[in-house]
């Protein structure tokens, strides 16, 4: 059973179309939802939660139609929104226990579990403080505790590292990574910070202006760079690079530099590059794979129509 499934989902806010006919089926695991502001990430999360009804199409989470079984879906999902979503005046432990009760936990169990989760997230000493006295980082962890309290099958996290300092961000990502590795549990992390996605998730869905640009495993995004190399030659390599370019190789060479980047066509291998260099009597001093991280792959994908 897929973790979630979208069939031709479109959503409009008045005249603004936030999602455009998105069809998607995602298997369980740690999934990153990547996109710039306005890409439709939050709309997608809210549709998955059943908080908003799509203008068109069907959304299913864990096999349940969110339109018909929204409450059941939310009972199996823990949601951590980016902003707000706190109840001022409550103490930390009360807030988390309330979240548990609202998810259907009995009162005493939710209270006990709230203490447990707050301890797990390092908020043990702050649990009796009023929410107004929490720092931004603490509020983020508190919201994560509220999402975790009923031990949901799926965690939906909307920009969980927003507003955190580098140390706090690193700690939060560590926790998320640990949570993502729990058996039979899934995590959907929405973020525009590609480093966060890369560190926590196994696969990603890339959204741009309301459409899905690409889905796949993070390694697959990196593998897209397998045909990319950095070449360094001794002597004048202009003739060689020109010849490569004419044969369909993408060449990025800065004038005056002895190194260039090559993107080989699918039928090419490094052997063909060496053969070409022999033909032009150019000595290749190094030919290394051009390592591309997820961020670079993402930018390349968005740039490619």
Footprint on this chain of other proteins (rule: CB under 8 A): 13, 41-43, 45-46, 49, 51-52, 70-72, 74-75, 79, 81-90, 94, 98-99, 101-107, 109, 113, 116, 119-125, 137, 146, 149-151, 158-159, 162, 167-168, 170-171, 174-175, 178-179, 182
| Pick 99 or 240: Cβ nearer other proteins | 99
Distance CA 116, CA 240 (A): 65
Distance CA 145, CA 116 (A): 9
* Cα-Cα-Cα-Cα dihedral sign, residues 143, 148, 152, 156: positive
Minimum CB distance to other proteins, residue 272 (Å): 47
Minimum CB distance to other proteins, residue 57 (Å): 18
Minimum CB distance to other proteins, residue 22 (Å): 17
| Pick 86 or 287: Cβ nearer other proteins | 86
Nearest to 77 by CA among 56, 58, 103: 103
| Pick 21 or 75: Cβ nearer other proteins | 75
Number of C-beta neighbours around residue 254 at 10 A: 9
Q: Which residues fall within 8 angstroms of residue 253, CB to CB, at 6 or more apart?
A: 241, 259, 260, 261
| Pick 98 or 264: Cβ nearer other proteins | 98
Minimum CB distance to other proteins, residue 8 (Å): 21
Q: Strand order in 4-13's β-sheet?
A: 16-26, 4-13, 56-61, 64-65
What residue has token string 């039979």? Answer: 184
Minimum CB distance to other proteins, residue 300 (Å): 26
| Pick 167 or 257: Cβ nearer other proteins | 167
Minimum CB distance to other proteins, residue 80 (Å): 9
| Pick 85 or 296: Cβ nearer other proteins | 85
| Separation of CA 302 from chain center | 15
What b/e string do you get for 218-228 counting C-beta neighbours within 10 Å, with b at 16 or more?
beebbebbebb
């Amino acid at each position: 059973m897929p973790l979630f499934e979208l069939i031709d989902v479109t959503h409009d806010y008045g005249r603004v179309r936030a999602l455009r006919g998105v069809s998607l089926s995602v298997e369980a695991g740690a999934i990153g939802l990547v996109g710039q502001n306005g890409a439709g990430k939050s709309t997608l999360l809210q549709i998955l939660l059943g908080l908003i009804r799509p203008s068109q199409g069907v959304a299913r989470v864990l096999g349940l139609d969110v339109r018909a079984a929204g409450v059941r879906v939310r009972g199996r999902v823990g949601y951590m929104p980016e902003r707000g979503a706190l109840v001022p005046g409550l103490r930390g432990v009360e807030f988390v226990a309330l979240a548990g009760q609202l998810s259907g936990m009995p009162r005493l169990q939710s209270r006990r579990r709230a203490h447990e989760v707050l301890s797990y997230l390092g908020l043990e000493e702050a649990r009796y403080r009023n929410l107004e006295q929490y720092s931004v980082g603490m509020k983020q962890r508190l919201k994560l505790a509220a999402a975790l309290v009923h031990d949901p099958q799926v965690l939906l996290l909307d920009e969980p590292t927003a507003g955190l300092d580098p140390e706090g961000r690193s700690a939060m990502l560590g926790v998320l990574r640990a949570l993502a590795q729990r058996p039979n549990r899934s995590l959907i992390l929405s973020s525009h910070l590609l480093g966060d996605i890369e560190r926590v998730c196994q696969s990603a869905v890339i959204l741009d202006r309301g459409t899905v640009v690409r889905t796949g495993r993070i390694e697959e995004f990196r593998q897209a760079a397998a045909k990319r190399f950095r070449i360094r030659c001794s002597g004048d390599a202009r003739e060689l690079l020109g010849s490569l370019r004419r044969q369909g190789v993408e060449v990025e060479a800065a004038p005056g530099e002895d190194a260039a980047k090559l993107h080989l066509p699918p039928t090419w291998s490094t052997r063909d590059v060496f053969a070409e260099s022999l033909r032009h009597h150019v000595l290749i001093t190094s030919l290394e794979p051009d390592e591309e991280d997820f961020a670079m792959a993402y930018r390349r994908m968005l740039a490619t129509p």
